[in-house]
Amino acid sequence: MDFQQLAKQVVEDIGGKDNIQSLTHCVTRLRFKLKDRSLADKEAVSRIKGVINVVEQGGQFQVVIGNEVTKAYDAVVELTGIQGQAIDVVEKDDLKVKGKFLDIVIDLVTSIFTPIMPSLIGGGMIRALLMILLQVGVLQETSGAYIVINEIMLLSFHFYRFTLLFVQPIALNVMRC
């Protein structure tokens, strides 16, 4: 594959090197931050030989190349003179873009509830196990083992409120721990 030609076509179809604000790459993608998104032709880029897909996500114009992305990246850097970097993980601050209200609300709700999901799932699994053991006849509601396991299950739901109080300020960027 001719990566020089690929780089030339990609840069041309995203609005030229003057439209590139920054450039990074991960394992499979060239990640462009563009000055003016309207100058980029997503369809034209996706038709370029060697491009697997084009994704717009997190304020980035991402061109999926595959395992040979470093060769394509080097060709783009050589062509444009823009020095980017390789990244392992996209930081949350890099993804901050002004979005629709619903997107912001969904992001907030998921950032609050994701850290507490393991305790809720664990409590639910313990509750399901207790119900199965009761139905099979292994435990009785008056047995000591049932009472202890039931209280452990209830703790996960009672401390759920306190966990919310701890996680919410972090999700709102009010407090960092």
Q: What is the 3-state secondary structure (H, E, C) of the chain?
A: CCHHHHHHHHHHHCCCHHHEEEEEECCCEEEEEECCHHHCCHHHHHCCCCCCEEEEECCEEEEECCCCHHHHHHHHHHHHCCCCEECCCCCHHHHCCCCCHHHHHHHHHHHHHCCCHHHHHHHHHHHHHHHHHHHHCCCCCCCHHHHHHHHHHHHHHHCHHHHHHHHHHHHCCCCCC
Q: Taking 90 as the threshold, does the pLDDT of residue 130 lie above it?
A: yes
- For the segment 46-57, the average pLDDT, to the nearest whole number, is 88
**Catalytic annotation, pick one of 17, 26, 80, 94:** 26
**90 and 12 co-located in one domain:** yes
Count of structural domains, the chain:
2
For residue 96, the model assigns a pLDDT of 52
Classify residue 86: in a domain, yes or no: yes
**9 and 92 co-located in one domain:** yes
Q: Could you say which of 77, 96, 115 is where a domain stops? A: 96
Percent with pLDDT over 70 in the chain: 88
Q: Taking 70 as the threshold, does the pLDDT of residue 101 lie above it?
A: yes
**17 and 91 co-located in one domain:** yes
Containing domain of residue 66, as a range?
3-96
What digits encode the pLDDT tens for the residues 133-153? 999 999 999 999 999 999 989
For residue 91, the model assigns a pLDDT of 42
**149 and 121 co-located in one domain:** yes
177 is catalytic: no
For residue 132, the model assigns a pLDDT of 95
Whole-model pTM over 0.85: no
